[in-house]
Structure 1
Amino acid sequence: MSEQEFKLALSYANAAMKLLKRCEIPAYPHFYELLYTYATGVNVPLNARMNELFRSGQPLTTDVVEALCVEFLKSYDVNERITNVSERMHARIESVNDAIDTAMLTAESYSGSLKVASGDLDRGVSADDLKSMTRQLLSETQHMQKTNSNLEDQLEASREDISALQRDLEEVRRESMIDSLTKIANRKSFDESIDNAVEDAVRTGEPLCLIIVDIDHFKTFNDTFGHQTGDQVLRLVATTLKANIKGRDLAARYGGEEFMTILPTTDIAGAVIVAENIRKAIHAKELLKRSTNEKLGRITASFGVAQFMPSDTSASLIERADRCLYAAKNSGRNRVVSEQELAKIIAA
């Protein structure tokens, strides 16, 4: 990178950071990327949209920036990033193959020259012919050394590129397991994690519990206050879940307004305590509309808690936790129902 390019990139970075600070937007990587892209001016539709927002006087809130990220940033397209890594890997492999082919042809030519020289020496050559032969072999040896050196350079570059590609693939893999809105594990990650947790519980005999969380009256809330505020609610619940688990526990967005929490090495009594802590923490938070600071009230959620049994599969454990959730919904919402409590409710 030239000094001019460095200064230009730095000016874009400074402009992005100033905009983040001025609008009081958290400096999350994807927010920074969006505003850096805006500063460069390379994404014409993005710049048109943001300039329109600035002209209208609408505040650049976190919700607005989040929506712009989803709409305009290509980094959200995991499939595209995987394709890009694949193409780079293919180009590097082709480059190495070309270098290997060249080295093999040079080696074959060199071997042929050595055989010819060996035959000439066996028949006897004059001093002048010997000098000429020596010069030719020296020239071909130098060419061979140069070809081998080029091959070594290509292999070294490939080693570095492959290491970088492996890091990129791992980053893409991690991102593919994260829900883009809430920044916790997504359904794909949950499906993989619950299967692994069940296998571990079977192997070790340790307890395992599952909590299903569903936001109460979310559709009504979403329709009343709008999708951006609904997204804020989803992020709030996700953050609360993540703040109340630890170690090997996993919080995931299962779909829509439903969340899952996997609690390895936790029995049903401990899982109920965790669920109650989360329920109280969600209910304790008062929701504000960021654009106006209008108080929108409090949100609540219902919880179903089930403990793994030796005969369980992932599906049967989810099904039993889901039954507990529906019992919580049907008995007034904003409560935790475990399997033990469900049995009491059914008996009553």
Structure 2
Amino acid sequence: MSDQEFKRALGYANSAFDLLKRSTVPPYPQFYELFYTYATGVNPTLNNRINAIFRAGDSPSESLAEQLYNEFLKSDVNDRMTAVSQRMHARIEAVHGAIDTAMTTANAYSGLLQSASGDLSLGISPAAMKSLSEKLLAETRHMQYTNRALEEKLLASRDDIAALQRDLDDVRRESMLDPLTKIANRKSFDDGLAAAIAEVRGRHDPLCLMLVDIDNFKSFNDSFGHQTGDQVLRLVAMTLKSNIKGKDLAARYGGEEFVAILPHTDIEGAVIIAENIRRALQAKELLKRSTNQKLGRITASFGIAAFRPTDTAASLIERADRCLYAAKHAGRNRVINESELVNTVTPTRKQGASAA
């Protein structure tokens, strides 16, 4: 990079950080990329959108910045996976082509050596010997050139494939995250629960499953808007994730429902974790940033089930789901585990119960 290019890039970076400060948007990598792109002016549509926000006397909030990033910069995971696969395929094809060329050259060189060996065994004139030597020398140099070209392609391919592998790992990790809350998505949860069950089956180690549902989320969303609702979902996800540890896995189950896989945790320990999360959520008072309007407090209901030797993933989820709905029907904002349901019959979502 030239000195001029470095100074220009540094200027874009400084502008991006100034915009982050001005907008009080967290300097997360995606938001830095958003404002860096704005500073370069390479995306006129994005610049027009942000300029309109500034002209209105506003500045991009965190939620709006995320919306702009998702719209203009964030590529679809499947598209990225396809792009990486295509690059990998192209690189492999290039290596195959170089190997085929080297093999063809090597075979021709081997045939020439065999022919020369036959000529030498019969005896040839000095002039023919000179001609043969010159021909062998030329072919040897050609062979050396081909081998060097193959070696260079293999070295370049090794670096490219390493970079592609890193890209593929990044895409794979992203494909396992919920794009809104940045915790594990449903697929990641399904895989994680299957792995956790396989690990404890036959070993008598404890394993608990916790389902979480935000109370009255639909009415909250309808009252204050989807952007505020998204902030609530991120808050719940962050609180859930910060209260688990080790091999525990927090995931967004769907809509306003979350789930946590708690290996090496018995039912009593799982209840303690759930109560800590419930109290942490209830203690947070929500404010609308643009107006400082108090939006009240959010609460959540929890259902907990412990793994049994005969369980499948579906049966474990069903019992946790029954506990969750018992918590809803008991007044919400509470934790219920399956030991409390021994003598009760509680409707599940399969029976049409409401989760609100």
Under a length normalisation based on structure 1, what TM-score does the superposition of the two structures give?
Answer: 0.95
AA aligned opposite 2:299: T
Question: Equivalent residue of 1:74, what SS?
Answer: coil
The answer as to 2:219 corresponding to 1:220 is yes
Partner of 2:176 in structure 1?
177
Gaps of 5+ in 2: 347-356
Question: Equivalent residue of 1:204, what SS?
Answer: coil
Q: How does 1:1-348 map to 2 (within 5 A)?
A: 1-75=1-75, 77-343=76-342, 346=345
Provide the rounded CA distance (Å) in 2 between the counterparts of 1:119 and 1:266: 79
Instruction: Output one character per residue of 1:215-234: Cα deviation in whole Å (capped at 9) or x when no partner.
Output: 01101100110111000000
Cα distance, 1:161 vs structure 2: 1.5
Question: Equivalent residue of 1:245, what SS?
Answer: coil
Provide the rounded CA distance (Å) in 2 between the counterparts of 1:229 and 1:195: 34
Cα distance, 1:42 vs structure 2: 2.3
Provide the rounded CA distance (Å) in 2 between the counterparts of 1:88 and 1:270: 48
Provide the rounded CA distance (Å) in 1 between the counterparts of 2:139 and 2:289: 74
More displaced, 153-162 or 304-313?
Answer: 153-162
Rate the CA distance shift 1:192–1:299 in 2: closer, same or farther, 3 A: same
Cα distance, 1:40 vs structure 2: 2.3
Question: Equivalent residue of 2:252, what SS?
Answer: strand
Provide the rounded CA distance (Å) in 2 between the counterparts of 1:53 and 1:203: 59
Provide the rounded CA distance (Å) in 2 between the counterparts of 1:67 and 1:261: 27
AA aligned opposite 1:112: G
Which structure is higher in helix share? Answer: 1
Question: Equivalent residue of 1:295, what SS?
Answer: strand
Question: Equivalent residue of 2:253, what SS?
Answer: strand
AA aligned opposite 1:110: Y
More displaced, 66-75 or 293-302?
Answer: 66-75
Provide the rounded CA distance (Å) in 2 between the counterparts of 1:123 and 1:308: 84
Aligned-residue CA RMSD (Å)? 1.6
Cα distance, 1:243 vs structure 2: 1.0
Provide the rounded CA distance (Å) in 2 between the counterparts of 1:5 and 1:86: 32
8 Å CA contact retained: 1:305, 1:337: yes
8 Å CA contact retained: 1:34, 1:69: yes
AA aligned opposite 2:36: Y
Question: Equivalent residue of 1:266, what SS?
Answer: coil
Instruction: Output one character per residue of 1:155-180: Cα deviation in whole Å (capped at 9) or x when no partner.
Output: 12112211211111111111111111
More displaced, 241-250 or 124-133?
Answer: 124-133
Provide the rounded CA distance (Å) in 2 between the counterparts of 1:256 and 1:200: 29
Provide the rounded CA distance (Å) in 2 between the counterparts of 1:116 and 1:59: 80
Provide the rounded CA distance (Å) in 2 between the counterparts of 1:151 and 1:6: 35
More displaced, 259-268 or 123-132?
Answer: 123-132
Cα distance, 1:3 vs structure 2: 4.6
Question: Equivalent residue of 1:84, what SS?
Answer: helix
Cα distance, 1:4 vs structure 2: 4.3
Provide the rounded CA distance (Å) in 2 between the counterparts of 1:113 and 1:14: 64
8 Å CA contact retained: 1:59, 1:291: no
Provide the rounded CA distance (Å) in 2 between the counterparts of 1:311 and 1:119: 77
Question: Equivalent residue of 2:208, what SS?
Answer: strand
Cα distance, 1:55 vs structure 2: 1.0
8 Å CA contact retained: 1:99, 1:151: yes
Provide the rounded CA distance (Å) in 1 between the counterparts of 2:187 and 2:200: 20
AA aligned opposite 1:238: A
Cα distance, 1:120 vs structure 2: 2.3
Instruction: Output one character per residue of 1:291-322: Cα deviation in whole Å (capped at 9) or x when no partner.
Output: 22221110111111111111111111110011
Cα distance, 1:11 vs structure 2: 2.9
Provide the rounded CA distance (Å) in 2 between the counterparts of 1:165 and 1:306: 42
